[in-house]
Amino acid sequence: MTEHERRDNLIRHPLRWVEIVQGGAAGLLVVVLVAVGILAYRGGAMAALSGSHPPDVVIVIVLDALRADRLSSYGYTGIQTPHIDSLARDGVLYRDMNTQTAWTKPSVATILTSLYSSSHRVLRLPDMLSDELLTLPEVLAGHDYYTAGFVANTNLFHELNYDQGFAEYYDLDPLESAFYHNGDRAYQEAERVNWRVLPWLEANHNKRFFLYVHYMDTHGPYFAHPYTGLSYYEKDPALAQLQSDLYDGEIVYFDEHLGKLLATLKRLDLYDRALIVFTSDHGEEFYEHQGWTHSRTLYQEITAVPLIVKYPGNVHAGTIDEGLARTLDIAPTILDVAGIEQPAVMRGVSLRLPPDSPARPQTSYAETFWMTGVMSVRDSRFKLVEVVDGDLRGRAPTQLYDLLADPGETTNVAAMYPDVVAQLRATMSETVALAERGAVGEQQAVLSPEFQERLRQLGY
């Protein structure tokens, strides 16, 4: 039985369409009057948001494997992240941000395409970004943005077609890390990434540009800072707290270098007028559900990531958005602010819509197919997890969690709420059907001998 047949056997329900309620003329008039007033005060900032004067600078910053619940801006008290906090004070913090998958390659594909994994078909290690896909940098390049990317994750290197739509794209070789990696996988640390990004900003600050930067510091192995030679990426319960503490230290280290990036933007007079999106591709597990790292499960420590959007002119500064937000919505939000019509193929919505708008997502779907198949869907209270091929950790194939009463997802309440299970399973079925109806053909990477050798050296 194929993977698709297994999923079809699991969830068979008719597709329901969600109505999008549009505002009337009176509401539009209010918006226009408010925009005019803010224009007078902000000197054109709201015009940039409305699309009449699109922002000249659009920057997406992704910190790999970053959990939202480890940032002080999200209420964590174990460490302080002052530069991430300052970005949040100047922008909108989306409290309930959700990824659509559990590891980098498919998640970044979703960021770039606003498609579910079942649509863009980047599901496993051999898969690459298909030529058939329309990417965010391609759309922006078609509207006179100069596009550049810097990526420190091997899964995003140009051999896998993630440079699609970029005028410049830099694979930051992990073997050039200043840190030793103790025989495990390595990556270029934030300071070294900035060595490439900051000079690029100096040289290109007069351009109208889109910049994508992918940092790796919170991805294992976790290093001690200042660097002492200590690093861990072990699957040993006795080391869970130590690795968790090192992970926190990596966040503090990254925050320092994010501060240097933001300072450069301010010095070059780019920061205030820029649209800056800060997020992560997935979270990280420290034995909360008897497992490690990421990719295999869809519990909250994996799917709940940060999202901070600093809008041009710093409008809406200090706002906290409590509505559901998704990785799927990043590209549509950027295009909305840039005044560019969203391509029909994209499945997300702009997060500039207020949290109570009927057009904002009411549920978030995720899927991962690393060694086993797992799907999940959640609303504002409940989360349904369905395991397709058997849980490697011996958990039930159908799991329901009450996130309000049990945010750690420790108690399966599926038997207590059969109606909720049925409702969320129907939503899951609809989403899968919608995603697969628009799926492109899978494209397998043909890797150069040099790239294969690099992967071998890194232990892949």
Round to whole Å and give the CA distance between 193 and 111.
Answer: 20
pLDDT for the residue 238: 84
Average pLDDT score over residue span 133-141: 97
Q: What is the pTM of this model?
A: 0.86
Q: Where does the pLDDT of residue 7 fall: very low under 50, low under 70, confident under 90, or very high at 90 and above?
A: very low
pLDDT for the residue 391: 67
Q: Where does the pLDDT of residue 35 fall: very low under 50, low under 70, confident under 90, or very high at 90 and above?
A: very low
HSE on the CB side for 37, CA within 13 Å?
A: 6
> Is residue 318 scored above 90 in pLDDT?
yes
pLDDT for the residue 246: 92
Alpha carbon 354 to chain centroid, angstroms: 20
Query: Whole-number mean pLDDT of the chain?
Result: 84
Q: Where does the pLDDT of residue 174 fall: very low under 50, low under 70, confident under 90, or very high at 90 and above?
A: confident
Which residue from 221, 236, 217 is spatially nearest to 183, judged by alpha carbons?
Answer: 221
CA distances from 357 to 188, 318, 328 (A): 41, 20, 17
Question: For the ranges 158-167, 302-311, 342-351, 390-399, which has the lowest average pLDDT?
Answer: 390-399
> Is residue 266 scored above 60 in pLDDT?
yes
pLDDT for the residue 122: 84
Q: Where does the pLDDT of residue 4 fall: very low under 50, low under 70, confident under 90, or very high at 90 and above?
A: very low
172 or 235: whose pLDDT is higher? Answer: 172
pLDDT for the residue 183: 56
Number of residues in the chain: 460
Round to whole Å and give the CA distance between 58 and 63.
Answer: 17
Round to whole Å and give the CA distance between 267 and 246.
Answer: 32
pLDDT for the residue 30: 33
pLDDT for the residue 281: 94
Q: In what order do the strands lie in the sheet with 168-171?
A: 168-171, 146-151, 209-215, 57-63, 275-279, 307-310, 92-98, 319-326
List domains and CATH numbers for the chain: 55-362 (3.40.720.10)
- Contact predicate 100/326, CB 8 Å: yes
Which residue from 374, 414, 366, 365 is spatially nearest to 392, judged by alpha carbons?
Answer: 374
